Amino acid sequence: MIPPLNPANSALLTDLYQLTMLQGYYDSGMEETAVFEFFVRKLRPGRGFLMAAGLEQALEFLEGLHFSSEELAWLASTGRFNNGFLAQLETLRFSGEVHAMPEGMVFFPNEPILRVTAPIAQAQLVETRLINLLHFQTLIASKAARMKLMAPDKLLVDFGLRRAHGAEAGLLAARASYLAGFSGSATVQAGMQFGIPLFGTMAHSFVQAHDGETLAFEHFAHAQPDNVVLLIDTYDTEAAAQKVVALAPQLASQGIRIKGVRIDSGNLAEHARQVRQILDAGGLRHVTIFASGDLDEYALRDMLASGAPVDGFGIGTRMDTSSDMPYLDCAYKLQEYAGKARRKRSEGKQTWPGRKQVYRSYGADGRMAADVVTVEGDVQPGEPLLRQVMRAGKRIAAATLAGSRIHAETNLAQLPEPLRRLQEPCDYPVQIAEALRRLAQQVDRESSNL
């Protein structure tokens, strides 16, 4: 019997080395508390900030962590692990603490956004899936936030499920982009799962299946009388706009009002201008124009700068794959074990050791001014960004998606002007506090002979 694809949050969504290391910890009796932190090492040139997302799914995963009996039987069948260790896995649950930045918070490289404090086996095992969840949603929220900054007053809808990397990517991209300020998504499952508003029109195939574009428009209007958005680029965009004008009075007499048209190919700005003229001349000033096809923040900026009369955008592939930056250079690293701060010194991948906190200061205008990263307990001026969200393996307080979305909006409003640029944003000042530098030196001295 083949197990279903992607059992939600299986404990086996991990790398083999986590389990082989756990066997090592078990055999050596190493079960002290470990502290791991998740952070992004650096940003690609042209990107100025990141937006934290994925915490909700990360906490869900930790709360539900366990090995099923089928999984344990399969692990035993590999012959890689001894019975004592497998018995330990059977009872393994996550019992640790988590501190994190709330979802929707703007952050910068070298700032931890999540810290796990737990017996080392637990904290180690969850590395792979925690990175997997935090990385992707942070990637997408950060991308979507750039689009929201470019088109703050437009309808922005996620259209990306089909070319997202699998089903979970599509669902979580819908969530992350909504969190960052999008109006909603076309992904039906995301509506059911997360309560995200759904948007949709029609596809070219609907028009093609009919013997005549006007007939397709009529059928669609009667089937969705409250949401008549007609796709007009299947054959000839401007000719179809004329058909919409011609059809409108008949639909109006049946009580159906055309809400909008969608353009999905060609020079979108130029078509939008011509279609706007046709609709206005035909008395359809209230009909909105929705554009889609190969859009991203650069295309939004250019179209809006050119004054294209577009009211909303469907944004798919380039957001759901974060196509200009499809991954973040992020890590989840051991910072402390058995009460001692630890540091990796691999070339180009050194980390700051110890449990950390980030403090943010704001200017007189309410905008973010500077951050300081320091060791926990070294209180600095400003707002501490990491808060405890889980105690003894249980969430302390659940954030709502609506609440996180407002938090994201507030954070984007607090972004300094130079960081809003799509290209060549200024570097935001992130200072490493003296206390953290001293700790790093101390760790290096103590570990120089490891």
2 binds a second copy (CB under 8 A): yes
**Pick 92 or 198: Cβ nearer a second copy:** 198
- The only residue of 93, 235, 379, 392 in contact with a second copy, by rule CB under 8 A: 235
250 binds a second copy (CB under 8 A): no
Smallest gap from Cβ 227 to a second copy, in A, equals 7
292 binds a second copy (CB under 8 A): no
368 binds a second copy (CB under 8 A): no
Question: Tokens at residue 281, please?
Answer: 């001349």
- The only residue of 39, 49, 107, 136 in contact with a second copy, by rule CB under 8 A: 136
* Contact range with a second copy by CB under 8 A, out of 107-115, 147-155, 206-214, 376-384: 206-214
> Cβ(210)–Cβ(217) under 8 Å?
no
Site residues (CB under 8 A) for a second copy, limited to 147-186: 159, 161-173, 186
d(C-alpha 28, C-alpha 31), whole Å: 9
Place of tokens 């890590």: 331
Site residues (CB under 8 A) for a second copy, limited to 383-422: none
Place of tokens 């999984």: 71
19 binds a second copy (CB under 8 A): yes
> Cβ(341)–Cβ(353) under 8 Å?
yes
Smallest gap from Cβ 136 to a second copy, in A, equals 5
**Pick 6 or 431: Cβ nearer a second copy:** 6
d(C-alpha 349, C-alpha 334), whole Å: 13
- The only residue of 45, 83, 253, 347 in contact with a second copy, by rule CB under 8 A: 347
87 binds a second copy (CB under 8 A): no
431 binds a second copy (CB under 8 A): no
What are the DSSP calls for 97-129, one per residue?
Answer: EEEEPPTT-EE-TT--SEEEEEEHHHHHHTHHH
**Pick 192 or 406: Cβ nearer a second copy:** 192
339 binds a second copy (CB under 8 A): no
334 binds a second copy (CB under 8 A): yes
Nearest to 118 by CA among 336, 441, 431, 408: 336
d(C-alpha 353, C-alpha 436), whole Å: 8
25 binds a second copy (CB under 8 A): yes
> Cβ(137)–Cβ(171) under 8 Å?
no
- Side-chain-side CA neighbours of residue 276 (13 Å): 15
d(C-alpha 68, C-alpha 71), whole Å: 5
**Pick 164 or 279: Cβ nearer a second copy:** 164
Nearest to 385 by CA among 357, 422, 348: 357
Cβ atoms within 10 Å, residue 152: 12
Smallest gap from Cβ 61 to a second copy, in A, equals 9
13 binds a second copy (CB under 8 A): yes
Tell whether the torsion through CA atoms of 121, 23, 341 and 36 is positive or negative.
Answer: negative
- The only residue of 37, 103, 111, 233 in contact with a second copy, by rule CB under 8 A: 233
- The only residue of 87, 93, 188, 387 in contact with a second copy, by rule CB under 8 A: 188
Smallest gap from Cβ 355 to a second copy, in A, equals 15
What are the DSSP calls for 293-352, one per residue?
Answer: SS--HHHHHHHHHTT----EEEE-HHHHTTTTS---EEEEEEEEETTEE-----TT----
Counting residues that bind a second copy (by CB under 8 A) gives 118
**Pick 163 or 420: Cβ nearer a second copy:** 163
**Pick 133 or 179: Cβ nearer a second copy:** 133
266 binds a second copy (CB under 8 A): yes
- The only residue of 47, 148, 342, 355 in contact with a second copy, by rule CB under 8 A: 342
7 binds a second copy (CB under 8 A): yes
**Pick 113 or 368: Cβ nearer a second copy:** 113
317 binds a second copy (CB under 8 A): yes
d(C-alpha 409, C-alpha 414), whole Å: 9
C-alpha distances in Å from residue 238, one per residue of 232, 235, 281, 306? 8, 9, 13, 20
450 binds a second copy (CB under 8 A): yes
Residue 42 is given by DSSP the state: E
Site residues (CB under 8 A) for a second copy, limited to 58-77: 60, 71, 74
246 binds a second copy (CB under 8 A): no
202 binds a second copy (CB under 8 A): yes
Nearest to 175 by CA among 154, 155, 153, 160: 160
276 binds a second copy (CB under 8 A): no
- The only residue of 42, 345, 387, 421 in contact with a second copy, by rule CB under 8 A: 345
> Cβ(262)–Cβ(237) under 8 Å?
no
Place of tokens 């996550």: 94
1 binds a second copy (CB under 8 A): no
